[in-house]
Amino acid sequence: MTASTTVRLQREPFDVAAEAAKLSRGRADVGAVVTFTGICRGNEDGEPIAALTLEHYPGMAEAEIERHVEEAKQRWPLAGVTVIHRYGRIAPGEDIVMVVTASSHRQAAFAAAEFLMDYLKTRAPFWKQVETTSGKSWVDAKSVDDAAAKRWRKAAVE
């Protein structure tokens, strides 16, 4: 199965439906497309927020995501993967990140999308700063995200 890969970092919003459609258009081997969208919440730890600002390490962020897309393609039979991550200032309700995976069957598409998100959160060099009425602060990494990424180390290949 030849898999198309797109990894993009951008300031601008993205169109999830258009990106998902690209992965199945004109192909007869795609039977499942899974999309995940991460959205900026309106509050953090109960406090309303004005916006998030995402900082990233240009060059390394793309490389790190691409490395994990390659690993996903080794582990599951994928027809295509698209990952788009935004940076800069993002208001509540706006999209932050999207992962689309395409495969012949749903299991591989679901698993690969979850694997990619779990690794993206703990290994891709992005940092969120939250803006509230009381000022700006950096978001702390969550141990639950580390645990989510770790479980894939021993997971059997589907």
On whether the CB atoms of residues 97 and 65 are closer than 8 A, the answer is no
The two structure tokens encoding residue 60: 């390394």
Tally of CA atoms within 13 A in the half-sphere of 136 that contains its CB = 8
Question: Interface with another protein includes 151 (CB under 8 A)?
Answer: no
Q: Which of residues 72-131 bind another protein (CB under 8 A)?
A: 85, 96-97, 117, 120-129
141 lies in the binding site for another protein (CB under 8 A):
yes
Member of 39, 91, 139, 147 binding another protein (CB under 8 A): 139
CB of 113 to another protein, least distance (A): 12
The one-letter amino acid code at 128 reads K
Q: Which is nearer to another protein, 31 or 152 (CB)?
A: 152
Gap between the Cα atoms of 127 and 96, Å rounded: 12
Residue 70 host element (H or E): helix 60-75
CA atoms of 70 and 147, how far apart (whole Å): 22
Beta carbon of residue 61, minimum distance to another protein (angstroms, whole number):
8
Q: Is 112 helix (H, G, I), strand (E, B) or coil?
A: helix
Q: Tell which one of 55, 70, 94, 158 touches another protein (CB under 8 A).
A: 55
- Phi/psi for 96 (5° steps) reads -110, -45
- Regarding 38 and contact with another protein (CB under 8 A), the answer is yes
Contacts with another protein by CB under 8 A: the residue count is 29
| Position among 13, 42, 48, 59 found at the interface with another protein (CB under 8 A) | 59
Binding site for another protein (CB under 8 A): 38, 54-57, 59-61, 63-64, 85, 96-97, 117, 120-129, 138-141, 145
